[in-house]
Amino acid sequence: MAYKTMVKKIKINTIIRTAGEKIEGNVHCLPNMRLLDLMNHPEESFVPVSDAAVYDEESGKLLYQVPFMAVNKSHVIVISETGQDASPETA
């Protein structure tokens, strides 16, 4: 019988700024991991973002919303927590 191992993660509400866009969404990390640790993890080239809303940096206009996107780390200028409550989850 097969089983699925559950890994607990923390959902962190974040804002990511790239050259022309602002991305608001949730980044999922292990409980002892910070956003900085995720960005400095050399084996991963992308930041997974769920419930993402992408805005034009200049006008602030909502461009699109997607349930999931992978943001290339090399395009990230700034990443920060929004200060909203983070919630534990099982993924």
Question: Smallest Cα–Cα separation from 13: which of 1, 2, 3, 23?
Answer: 23
Quote the pTM value. 0.83
The per-residue pLDDT for 1 is: 58
The per-residue pLDDT for 7 is: 81
Residue 91 has pLDDT above 80, yes or no: no
The per-residue pLDDT for 90 is: 47
CA gap 18, 23 in Å, rounded: 8
**Which CATH class for the 8-81 domain?**
mainly beta
Dump pLDDT digits (tens) for 35-54. Answer: 999 999 889 899 999 999 99
CA distances from 51 to 32, 38, 44, 47, 64 (A): 22, 18, 20, 13, 11
More confident call, 87 vs 39: 39
CA gap 47, 70 in Å, rounded: 5
